Amino acid sequence: MSKFTLFIMSLCASLCPMGSHAQNVARRVVSIDEMFSLADQNSKSLRPFATGMAEAREGVRVARNARLPEIDASLSFSYLGDGRMMDRNFSDGFNAPMPHFGNNFAIEATQAVYTGGAVSNGIAIAKLQEELAGLDMENNRDKIRFMLVGYYLDLFKQQNMYRVYEKNIEQTRQVLKDIRAKGNEGIVLKNDITRYELLLSNLELTRTQIENTIVILNNNLTTTLGLPATVMLEPDTALLSKVLPVEDTESWTHTAFSNSPVLKQLELGVQMSKHQDKIIRSERLPKVALFAGNKLDGPIIIEVPPIDKNFNYWYVGVGVKYNFSSLYKTNKSLNRSKYAIRRNIEQYDDAKEQTELAVKAGHIKYLESFVELNTQEKSVELANQNYAVVSNRYKNDMALITDMLDASNSKLAAELQLVNAQINTVYNYYKLLYISGTL
């Protein structure tokens, strides 16, 4: 394969990512708060949880229906065959004619007066399930927001890396131009020119990889935010100049204990298990209900011979029901309920401890990112000074090409690390917000 063919293939590879997305691209600067708002409105991942909240609200209404009276009505028609009468020893039997058309209509209403707390605790559980659905929505919203923050800051990092590489490619091309000029004069060896050409080729390859990463991250963001694929998002550069708060660990821990959706969900789980325990205990208590009814029967077959007439009567009363088998059946259920309550409490305590550990670890990393940022700022300053000195010495034939390569690589590494340090500081801050439930 000729060098010209390799050159054409390399050129196409570097231009294709840009060419495929250069048409009809609309650039849009989006802040993190605006991104959160778009995600809340358009993210398909949140829709099932919103539907779950509506379902839980209906569950409360269903549970409240237990307080309403039960009304039953029945209507039947039947064909009655003739009866047969006989002695007690089943002898001397003869047919007893009966009216053949039978009918029955009954309506009865029952209103529970006392259920031992089964109804009220059932409603309480339904309300807690509604709260749980809301917290589930909040928890998953925070997960999506934190995921988007990762995409957003990574996009920010990649776009800054792209600018740094563009700048370094431009400088490398200028140095290469100077070296080639000196090579024509016989001052520089051809091997030195080749090494710098290799450096330029590697820089251009890395730039292409960065371009592809930007496209992938942008697709992830626009899809989640419900934006057209032709939109190229630009992170808000004012984010890096924002003064981030530095609070102590105790303050962050207290905030997490008060706001963490996970801890709130586990706390609701404890309350639900306690209400379930009360429902089980209610099985040992009597049930009291009021009832009223009206019946219409015909014919009257309790008379001999049967009377071919309708008989209508109504009634009202109070009923008491007690399940004596609950005295020996509910013991195991109560023991199981006791362990369920204990398990939920233990899960809450464990989650609280893990949250505290996560907050402390996140806070340490957050403070560490400020130290790293200050260090990288100083490194960039020193790397720029070193590059300027070596470049000046090289122009005056007082330094080797290897010195220029080392200085250029050090400058590139320092600039990239500074960008990463700035992004990491913001990321660690939003990670603390996520852990503390305030994202």
Q: Which of helix, strand or coil describes residue 289?
A: strand
Average pLDDT, the chain: 86
Q: Identify the pLDDT of residue 290.
A: 93
Residues in the chain: 439
CA torsion angle 119 125 130 136 (round to 10): -160
- 3-state DSSP percent of the chain in helix, strand and coil, to 5: 65, 15, 20
The half-sphere exposure of 87 on its side-chain side, counting CA atoms within 13 A, is 3
| Per-residue b or e along 72-105, where b marks 16 or more CB atoms closer than 10 Å to that residue's CB | eeeeeeeeeeeeeeeeeeeeeeeeeebbeebeeb
What are the residue ranges spanned by the domains of the chain? 30-68+117-158+233-285+330-435, 72-87+95-114+287-321
With contact defined as beta carbons under 8 Å apart, do 155 and 82 qualify? no
253 against 17, higher pLDDT: 253
Q: Identify the pLDDT of residue 12.
A: 44
Q: Does domain 30-68+117-158+233-285+330-435 have CATH number 1.20.1600.10?
A: yes
pLDDT digits (tens, 9 = 90+) for 180-229: 777 666 666 677 778 878 888 998 999 999 999 999 999 999 999 999 98
Q: Identify the pLDDT of residue 198.
A: 87
Eight-state DSSP code of residue 117: T
Q: Identify the pLDDT of residue 160.
A: 83
With contact defined as beta carbons under 8 Å apart, do 437 and 259 qualify? yes
Residue 2 has pLDDT above 60, yes or no: no
294 against 186, higher pLDDT: 294
CB-based contacts of 90, cutoff 8 Å, min separation 6: none
Q: Which residues pair with 311 in a beta bridge?
A: 297
Q: Identify the pLDDT of residue 1.
A: 41
pLDDT digits (tens, 9 = 90+) for 37-86: 999 999 999 999 999 999 999 999 999 998 999 999 999 999 988 888 88
Residue 204 CA to residue 172 CA, distance in Å, equals: 11
439 against 54, higher pLDDT: 54
| H-helix segments, 65-189 | 118-184
Q: Which two tokens stand for residue 190?
A: 């051809």
Q: Identify the pLDDT of residue 3.
A: 39
Q: Which two tokens stand for residue 3?
A: 């060098």
Residue 326 CA to residue 305 CA, distance in Å, equals: 46
With contact defined as beta carbons under 8 Å apart, do 109 and 71 qualify? yes
Using only C-alpha atoms, the chain has a radius of gyration, in whole angstroms, of 40
CB-based contacts of 120, cutoff 8 Å, min separation 6: none
Residue 35 CA to residue 251 CA, distance in Å, equals: 27
Q: Which residues pair with 30 in a beta bridge?
A: 235
Class of residue 320 by CB neighbours under 10 A (exposed 0-12, middle 13-18, buried 19+)? exposed
Q: Which two tokens stand for residue 271?
A: 């309350």
pLDDT (average), residues 221-239: 89
pLDDT (average), residues 162-186: 78
Q: Which of 156, 208, 215 is nearest to 419 (CA)?
A: 156
Q: Which of 41, 28, 19, 26 is nearest to 155 (CA)?
A: 28
- Using pLDDT thresholds of 50, 70 and 90, give the confidence band for residue 11: very low
Q: Which of helix, strand or coil describes residue 168?
A: helix
With contact defined as beta carbons under 8 Å apart, do 84 and 96 qualify? yes
Q: Is 70 left (phi over 0), alpha (psi -120 to 50) or beta?
A: beta
Q: Which of helix, strand or coil describes residue 291?
A: strand
Where is average pLDDT lowest: 93-102, 166-175, 206-215? 166-175
